[in-house]
Amino acid sequence: MSDSRQPIGVIGTGYVGLVTAAGFAELGSEVWCVDIDAEKIARLRRGEVPIYEPGLEELLARNSERMHFSTDIADALANARLLFVAVGTPPTYSGDADLSAVQAVADAIPASREHALIMKSTVPCGTGASLRRVFDEQDKGGLAYVSCPEFLKEGTAVKDFLHPDRVVIGDDGGWAGDAVVELYAPLGAPLVRTDIASAEMVKLASNAFLATKISFINEIANVCEPTGADVVEVARGMGLDDRIGSKFLQAGIGYGGSCFPKDVDALKQLAGNSGYHFQLLTAVIEVNELQKRRVIGKLHKHLGGLVGKRIALLGLAFKPNTDDMREASSLVLSARLHADGADVTAYDPVAEEQARKLVTGIAFADSALEALRDADAAVLVTEWQELLELDWGAVAEAMRGTLVIDGRNALDPQLLRESGLLYEGIGRR
């Protein structure tokens, strides 16, 4: 790639920041990464990758000469005009997004006509406008601002950065928006260049729509159970209609992760703050919460009381190919099982370290078969490939009971039944 690519700064080196930084380095930019987490920066300087994301280690290693890591935002300001902001925006108790990290970055930027903040963090619609007011009050009106929401998915984030479905850029038509368009140009993705508020809303509306699709098919699954239909067949039949599409039509035990729950909440809250009651999202959230608990009902149905029953949880991460445990369905499930007196052992191929910080009262095993040893029942929580390929004959031998609840409808019922196991999916016959 050419040496004429703009250098950039990336503030916040989490899942989004690090992938964005490595991705732009791959496209030829010098990248100045900043984080307030000194330990993370020290690890990155040593060439270690603090998160699990397929392909990221190789991308960072390949571009290490173009990547610089610091805890001081002055290093990014001195070397780059475009500062991508990728700090966390977790939910507050009210459901609004917590913008304190975004505000801290904005406060740390001095008055400058040379620099632009490019907002990658997911923020409520209206954030760009309120930051503009703050900049004006602080005599920092010359600072440029661009909304550039991120759509990458953990687990396939590197691929998503390099081959995005679309790039959305919201700005006021100035130099910074043009510069961001140029940065993304080599990827050849469809470009949506629009105003700042609309770009902010594209992100929130996209996540809310996907979450709605998941809660919708989960409710269909719940109706399939008493009526004898099989939701996998139903989803197959629906998904072939290209107005509907097959993605996000897999029924299961609910969505989790660092984005859907908080972004759906934030949009609902944003609507409420503006005087509109977003009824549909209220239902989407409630359906998801109840869905996480459906496994408990199924366990009771087959095992009776759960006191002293040994339950194996297969997978803990909110989805496969990530170690992210934020809002994972396994958190609710393990807490409910623990409260019901069950004896829980869990196995996850990569998320154990993160899980240990969030989950109490359960044991961790080094392999799936170890977790399954003498279990009365097993629950597939995360559809890791390794778990889908288990030797079900060996599973049946290791377990004390026979019940396997497929929380992701990802297993082959026939195969399990042939191994002597009792299969129960979500909304499956």
Ligand X SMILES: NC(=O)c1ccc[n+]([C@@H]2O[C@H](COP(=O)([O-])OP(=O)(O)OC[C@H]3O[C@@H](n4cnc5c(N)ncnc54)[C@H](O)[C@@H]3O)[C@@H](O)[C@H]2O)c1
State the residues that interact with ligand X by CB under 6 A: 11-17, 34-37, 40, 86-89, 101, 104-105, 120-122, 150, 152, 154, 258-259
- C-beta closer to ligand X: residue 69 or 347: 69
Burial class (CB in 10 A: 0-12, 13-18, 19+), 37: middle
Give CA–CA dist 229/144, Å, rounded.
Answer: 55
Phi/psi at 162 (5° precision): -80, -25
In the residue annotation, 259 being an active-site residue is answered as yes
Tell me if 204 sits within 8 A of 271, measured CB to CB.
no
| Angle formed by the axes of helices 127-137 and 100-108, nearest 10° | 40
The continuous run of DSSP H or E covering 33 comes out as strand 31-34
Residue 109 or 405 having the CB closest to ligand X: 109
Q: Quick one: which H or E segment has residue 31?
A: strand 31-34
Per-residue b or e along 115-154, where b marks 16 or more CB atoms closer than 10 Å to that residue's CB: bbbbbbbbbbbebbeebbeebeeeebeebbbbbbbbbbeb
Sheet holding 422-424, edge to edge: 363-364, 343-347, 310-314, 377-380, 403-406, 422-424
Question: What is the DSSP code string of 86-152?
Answer: -----B-TTSSB--HHHHHHHHHSPS-SS-EEEE-S---TTHHHHHHHHHHHTT-TT-EEEE-----
How far is Cα 281 from Cα 40, in angstroms, rounded to an integer? 36
Rounded to the nearest whole angstrom, what is the least distance from the CB of residue 328 to ligand X in the complex? 13
Q: Name which of 207 and 288 has its Cβ closer to ligand X.
A: 207
Residue 68 sits at φ, ψ, to 5 deg, of: -125, 140
Q: Which is nearer to ligand X, 72 or 233 (CB)?
A: 72
- Distance in Å from the first CA to the final CA of the chain: 54
Q: Closest-CB residue for ligand X?
A: 14
Reported residue count of the chain is 429
Asked whether the CA dihedral 233, 236, 241, 246 is positive or negative, the reply is positive
Nearer to ligand X, 171 or 324 (CB): 324
Short-list 312, 306, 264, 321, CA closest to 289 = 264
Q: Active-site residue among 33, 125, 148, 259?
A: 259
Catalytic residue numbers?
259
